[in-house]
Structure 1
Amino acid sequence: MATFPPYPTHPTGSAGPPGAAGGALRHPHWWQRRWVRYGALITLLALSGLVILALVRQQTGTDGFLVGLGLAVLPVPLLIAAFRWLDRVEPGPWRNIVFAFAWGACAAALIAIVANSFATKWIATSTADPSSADTLGATVIAPIVEESAKAAAVLLVFLFRRRDFTGIVDGVVIAGVTATGFAFTENILYLGTAFGTDQVTGDRGIASVTAATFFVRVIMSPFAHPLFTVLTGIGFGIAALSADRQHVRRGLVPLGGLLLAMSMHAFWNGSSTFGPYGFFAVYGAFMLPAFGLLTWLVIWTRQRELRTVREELPAYVLAGWLGPGEPFALGSMRARRLARDHARHHLGKSAARAVERYEAYATSLAFLRHRGRRGRAGADFVVRERELLSELWNRRQVARPALEYAARATAPVVPTPWPVYGVQGAYGYGYPVGQPHPAYLAYNAYNPYRT
């Protein structure tokens, strides 16, 4: 188990920021520089985007592409907003969100289109029943190729943005946003192709192929691709919570999540072969319950993260790094929002942004200490802890008054006078003799302003 002081050193007794001590600096090679890696990644995504744009436009035509683009973009803001809401406890940087969406919409979509087309043609030419190529491609090849391509984005963030990937919610968000980008490009292709079909047949209105495709893909199941890939994200999230020495678990759990994602994807794609009502049966009996279960899981995980914040940060209050009301305020999304609003009202938008960053750093600190107590912290625990404490200390003058105000404003209301168990109080209820009122216990447990 990792060892660290139970109560971190007070800032007045700290030894200064990490890295200030001696030690030779090693200059990285040119290919290890950040701008080189970012430049290569941006170039790769840009080229993938241009190629996928040309392929989709070639298959749908210009008019079909524009119609598909206009319809496919509709669910994207709602899905992105939903994943950002899940990530509000410890929000990751926007660059990870942009990368995940771009990878799904460009790189993963390009891999899927090329690989699926090649595999379908190969099946059609190498089997005795060419008519089964499309079915095999949709139920076997497509789930493997597409889920693997989307999982690559989660793997890249897990490996290269490790500090931003600390648990299940992070895995869900990165996986879900990647799948949202993938579904966006795929919907452009399907809706654009449907529009081209309607142009040939002359169908219009709700009876058109475009309307039916829009209803199935955008109205009924905009969550389908995110639902599949989120299983992979959960696997990586569990791996992120594991200790570094648990190599088998860190390798097998993400693989298991990927296999579950492929299986669910295959089952969904194969629903059309189950008879005329197979699609609706699978949708009602399988997809909706699975979506509800996973939604409950991530929301429960989000609430558990808030509880972790409330439980871990009091150690830093005792050491003098945080104010007495901050653990309570930082463990409540309502109090956090109130603190930002208070800072914005009195000091402006820059102060609100400072409070928001303070909340994020404090949450990261709580999670870091939680992993440390469970023996899952990395070798850089002390360095990372000091970095986070330094960030908090630099913002304390703006953030602390706002959070203390939010703690007071959101603390449980204290009834007066306090009824005593066994006594018929002013509010007309009695309790067993000798015990205080339950609300009083809750107030004293969480409110630092009690007298």
Structure 2
Amino acid sequence: MATLPPYPTYPDGPVDGGVLRHPHWWQRRWVRYGALITLLALSGLVILALVRQQTGTEGFLVGLALAVLPVPLLVAAFRWLDRVEPGPWRNLVFAFAWGACAAALIAIVANSFATRWIATTTADPNGADTLGATVIAPFVEESAKAAAVLLVFLFRRRDFTGIVDGVVIAGVTATGFAFTENILYLGTAFGTDQMSGGRGLASVTAATFFVRVVMSPFAHPLFTVLTGIGFGITALSAERQRVRRLLAPLGGLLLAMGMHAMWNGSAKFGEYGFFAVYAAFMAPAFGLLTWLVIWTRQRELRTVREELPAYAVAGWLGPVEPFVLGSLRARRLAREYAGHHFGKEAARSVAEYEAFATSVAFLRHRGRRGRAGADFIVRERELLCALWARRAVARPALEYAARVTAPVAPAMAPPVWHGHGYAPPHGVPLYGVPQHGPAAPYPGYNPYRR
């Protein structure tokens, strides 16, 4: 989703009861961003030193070269899932950095400390390793990764509106975590081969690469996605559903820990335990979650087609735009048309137009179900004004896409002007939709009509 200007603010701080209050230095945005970047950078340097210490320089470089291979594919897959209302890249960058740096550092330190403490207490190193892998590691790692989802949910609430957003943030966070973990495992395997003389397909490095990168690159994302779904359910829940809003993320986190524990303990189930767990649980769960996310995305497109006609009737959108914006193929054709005839900037404007239109559709959908926040009117006005500013480029492109995809985008009957407002077609309420038409040549708000 393209970036919108923030709420109206004042240079020195918000107005509270007519009194201008100066924010404290720690409340300034650049201070928060600086602290976050510093934290992630320090975590990255420490985790880099720890991994290099365990693998050696040569092993670290080999592990890095092999671990980076699945990252672009996984990030592209999650970005593809987020095509209906794409979130800003800064959220994905934060999620990946948190997983690769902060979460990985927490996991390495906590897992090592807990395993060492259990071994010292029980005098059973083998039992400590087993307990650490099946109990401690899932709890620590999933909690550390879930922290990124929680932070985005709390501080980027506008960008976190449903299940798909939770899946994308959780999946990218886990991709970053798996990237760092794979460097450690592959680098250690390479060091083992250097000492034992292993080469080729029979080497430990090749076996580790096959298991972690070829067979199960989706393992960590699959676990953490369950947590993301829980937060997505909370985002879709009304404020009054407090129990559901609290239990959904907690339930998702517990499921993630349980699946992670089963995966880590699969090697203890016998010679073929790993393959049995992979075939019986991991692959079906991956297929089920993939279907769920794609079904959710299709439901989002249906929401766009159902909610936007009210804005078309009110004059904010063209007659066929709700149906074009509810089709991913038509959206792509509109961007390609704008880029081919008017350049990259026009294509970017069309993409932003599509994102803003989707956001206003979701906002209206939540508002009609009593799930919108107190900033509903302000947010709706921001989105509509952003649409209006891009209409000159976007509308010709969307009309072209409507002509090409006529079976997908059926024409909507144009609204009828009666001198006092647009008459909505049967079944399309205009309650809460700001009117814009011949009597109001500029975007503006009239009182809600009933």
- Which TM bucket (shorter chain)? 0.7 to 0.9
TM alignment of 1:108-127, pairs within 5 A: 108-127=103-122
Q: Which one has more relative contact order, counting CA pairs under 8 Å at least 6 apart?
A: 1
| Correspondences of 1:300-311 after superposition (within 5 Å) | 300-311=295-306
1:269-309 C-alpha deviation (Å, 9 max, x unpaired): 00000000000000011100000000000000011000000
Q: Are positions 1:359 and 2:354 aligned together?
A: yes
Shift of 1:245: 2.5
Deviation at 1:376, TM superposition (A): 0.6
Partner of 1:345: 340
Distance 2:27 2:401 in 1: 44
Partner of 1:151: 146
Contact 1:67 1:195 in 2 (8 A): yes
Residue 447 (structure 1) aligned with residue 442 (structure 2): no
Deviates more, 1:31-40 or 1:150-159: 31-40
Cα distance in 1 for residues equivalent to 2:260 and 2:356: 37
User: Displacement, 1:128?
Assistant: 4.6
1:346 CA displacement: 1.0
* Offset, 1:196: 0.1
Residue 375 in 1 paired to residue 370 in 2? yes
Q: Which of residues 203, 225, 228 in structure 1 aligns to 2:220?
A: 225
In structure 1, the partner of 2:172 is 177
Alignment of 1:13-412 (within 5 A): 19=8, 25-412=20-407
The structural deviation recorded for 1:203 is 0.6
Q: Distance in 2 between matches of 1:190 and 1:180?
A: 15
Report the counterpart of residue 438 of structure 1 in structure 2. none
1: CA distance, partners of 2:387 / 2:112: 52
Letter paired with 1:312: E
d(CA) in 2 for partners of 1:105, 1:310: 38
Task: Report the AA paired with residue 232 of structure 1.
Answer: T
> Which residue of structure 2 aligns with residue 421 of structure 1?
none
Name the SS of the counterpart of 2:238 in structure 1: coil
Deviation by residue 1:93-117 (Cα, 9 ceiling, x = unmatched): 0000000000000000000000000
Shift of 1:404: 1.3
Map of 1:433 onto structure 2: none
Alpha-carbon distance, 1:407 to partner: 1.2
Query: Which residue type is aligned with residue 149 of structure 1?
Result: A
Paired residues, what number? 403
In the TM superposition, residue 26 of structure 1 has moved relative to its aligned partner by 4.0
Give TM-score scaled by structure 1 length: 0.87
TM-score (norm 2): 0.87
Query: CA RMSD, aligned part only?
Result: 1.7
Q: C-alpha distance in 2, partners of 1:350/1:264?
A: 45
- Change in Cα spacing, 1:138 to 1:91, as seen in structure 2 (3 Å) is same
Matching residue's letter, 1:42:
I
Whole-angstrom CA distance in 1 between matches of 2:341 and 2:412: 24
Aligned-residue sequence identity (percent) comes to 85
Deviations 1:39-72 (A, max 9, x none): 0000000000000000000000000000000000
Write the deviation string for residues 11-56 of structure 1: whole angstroms up to 9, x where unpaired. Answer: xxxxxx9859996654422211111110000000000000000000
CA distance in 2, matches of 1:26, 1:406: 50
Q: Alignment partner of 2:397: what SS?
A: helix
Give distance in 2, aligned partners of 1:129 and 1:73.
36
- SS of 2:94's equivalent? helix
Secondary structure of the residue aligned to 1:324 is: coil
Distance in 2 (alpha carbons) for counterparts of 1:331 and 1:25? 44
Query: Residues 401 and 449 of structure 1: is their aligned pair in 2 closer, same or farther, counting only changes over 3 Å?
Result: farther
Q: 1:40 to 1:283 in 2, by over 3 A?
A: same
The unaligned stretches of length 5 or more in structure 1 are: 1-16, 413-441
Alpha-carbon distance in structure 2 between the residues aligned to 1:316 and 1:408: 21
Name the residue aligned to 1:417: none
Measured after TM superposition, the shift of residue 448 of structure 1 is 3.0
Change (3 A) 1:92 1:20: closer
C-alpha separation in 2, matches of 1:28 and 1:365: 31
Q: 1:127 offset after TM fit, Å?
A: 1.2
Could you give the per-residue CA deviations for residues 289-342 of structure 1, whole angstroms, max 9, x where no partner exists?
A: 000000000000011000000000000011100000110110000000000011
Q: CA deviation at 1:131?
A: 1.9
Partner Cα separation in structure 2 for residue 395 and residue 408 of structure 1: 20
